[in-house]
Structure 1
Amino acid sequence: MGKMRPVIGITTYVEPATWGVWHELPTTLVPHDYVAAVSAAGGQAVLIPHDDLDPDILRVLDGLVLSGGSDLGPALYGAEAGPKTVTRPERDVAEMRLTRAALARDLPILGVCRGMQVLTVAAGGTLHQHLPDVVGHDRHRPAPGVYGKHEARFTEGSRIAALMGDDTRVHCFHHQAVDDPGTLVVTGRAEDGLPEAVEDPSHKFVLGVQWHPEVTRDKRLFGALVTAAAA
């Protein structure tokens, strides 16, 4: 038998879903793009349901993807929720515990959109709750189900700059963003100056991106995660 593929956990949503004869059934799910991106990069994807009891699942994982989704509860970074903030408290509790435990184990982590924000808050940072109030436009989330597309700028010598190379166009869908990165380092910014990538150089692999590389099956980012997980 050949060497086993690195096992990559992917955090999930709990949302009402409809299929077949079932309507609006509370369902643990994640867009298939995440699974396909991990598989295409050479990893074995495992979906992680919310679990607020303990982070023991980390014992069998080689790497972790913090997926996108709903807004992070502002109380986690000392703020009150604004009128446009929509949260899932059970998910917040489970993922913050999971993330902090994964960081303590130095498990390779890729945070996508909300996942980048989870990493930020775990690092003591804060978020902007509604970007149109901050930057005066909605190009980061132009319409329901429509990705914004723009060029990002990356810090020379950073991990994300090395991974992205000359292809710096990204697909984003978010109305919140990093304000204070805490102990993380901002290594990428959008055209309007908002953080697009954060890293923690003190860990083997901790990278957060505000865009959605899973949509394009970006082997650069998922491949780097899988490679770090295999090391």
Structure 2
Amino acid sequence: MSRPVIAYVTAPKGDHLLSALVWFVISISGGKPRRLRHEPTSGERRFDGLILMGGLDIHPSRYDASIEVESRFDPERDALEISWLQHARDHDLPVMGICRGLQMLNVFYGGDLHQKLDAELTQNWPNGPLGYTFFRKPVTLQGESLLSQAVSPANTVMVNSLHRRAVRKIAPDFHATACGERGGVQAIEADHTPLRMGVQFHPELLVYRSDMRRLFRRFIKACAQ
């Protein structure tokens, strides 16, 4: 049986190290990776699943909000991801969102975001690449989901955290599958098939762990089906 083709989106320009890492993770998890750099065309080649990666913040206009906190935005990437999410919806393809990718998945289906996290929550979070590399926080799983299947039988899992924005209102027909401190949404999944799910952390940076490898393998298996 041929391996499923798993397309992924990072920043349209640059992101070479992240792209190489995602390529590797997809490959060792049973998929055939393909990076998407341009919006779909009428003769678009087929793929079996879509992964949206982390990156700069989504512009608030995408969820009908004004800018509350100045940040770095990437309108070109916003448009690219929205076009591929539309393609995935039109073709009933599974989708996995990672960090920014979860946020875009939520926004695309009608949810919105907090533009700033609670200062008390983030006061002990690290700054700088070294601090982020080793920082871990607990998230609590909720109900049955692809994430819970991957990390089972654990009820709480330690994850990394590189984000400063988060889901506020969950999109219709989605539900939270993991929450952090004070109930903040850390993972979502669609109520119905095809599989559409997202995590607020970065499993690709935790791929040395068996539970994170299972998460990718289970997603890619769902794409193959």
RMSD: 2.0
Give the drift of 1:89. 0.3
Kept in 2: contact 1:72–1:118 (CA 8 A): yes
Q: How does 1:189-200 map to 2 (within 5 A)?
A: 189-200=179-190
Provide the residue aligned with 2:197 in structure 1: 207
2:33 maps to a residue whose letter is: A
Cα distance in 1 for residues equivalent to 2:145 and 2:62: 28
Q: Write out aligned runs for 1:143-182 (5 A).
A: 143-145=127-129, 146-147=132-133, 148-165=135-152, 166=154, 168-182=157-171
Number of the residue aligned with 2:111: 125
Equivalence map 1:104-123=2 (5 Å): 104-123=90-109
In 2: Cα distance, 1:56 partner to 1:138 partner: 46
CA drift at 1:33: 2.3
State the match for 2:126 in structure 1: 142
In structure 1, how many angstroms separate the alpha carbons of the residues matched to 2:124 and 2:216?
22
Q: Distance in 2 between matches of 1:128 and 1:224?
A: 29
Q: Distance in 1 between matches of 2:70 and 2:223?
A: 37
Per-residue CA distance 1:162-208 (angstroms, 9 max, x = gap): 22211611112100000001212111101231100000021221110
Amino acid at match of 2:141: F
Moved more, 71-80 or 31-40: 31-40
Asked if 2 retains the 8 angstrom alpha-carbon contact of 1:135 and 1:192, the reply is no
Partner of 2:71: 85
Could you tell me the TM-score, scaled by structure 2's length? 0.87
TM-score, normalization: structure 1? 0.85
**Contact 2:111 / 2:169 at 8 angstroms: preserved in 1?**
yes
Q: Find runs of 4+ consecutive structure 1 residues off by over 6 angstroms.
A: none
* Matched position secondary structure for 2:85: helix
Please list the CA deviations of residues 108-148 of structure 1 after superposition, one character each: whole Å capped at 9, or x if unmatched. Answer: 111000000011001100001121xx352326962122144
Q: 1:227 to 1:151 in 2, by over 3 A?
A: same
Structure 1 contact 7–44 (Cα < 8 Å) conserved = yes
- AA aligned to 1:176 is R
C-alpha separation between the residues in 2 aligned to 1:14 and 1:112? 16
Q: How does 1:30-45 map to 2 (within 5 A)?
A: 31=18, 32-45=20-33
Select the structure that is richer in helix: 2
Contact 2:176 2:187 in 1 (8 A): yes
CA shift, 1:30, in A, is 5.5
Q: Alignment length, in residue pairs?
A: 214
Asked whether the 8 Å contact 1:85–1:129 carries over to 2, the reply is: no
Q: Deviations along 1:98-117, whole A, 9 cap, x unmatched?
A: 11220232211110000000
Listed as ranges, the gaps of 5+ residues in structure 2 are none
Structure with greater proportional strand content: 1
Structure 1 residues 164, 139: CA separation in 2 closer, same or farther (over 3 Å shift)?
farther
Residues 86 and 141 from structure 1, CA distance in 2 versus in 1: closer, same or farther, beyond 3 angstroms?
A: farther
Q: Identity percentage over the alignment?
A: 30
Q: Is the 8 A contact 1:140 1:172 kept in 2?
A: no
Separation in 1 of the partners of 2:60 and 2:125?
20
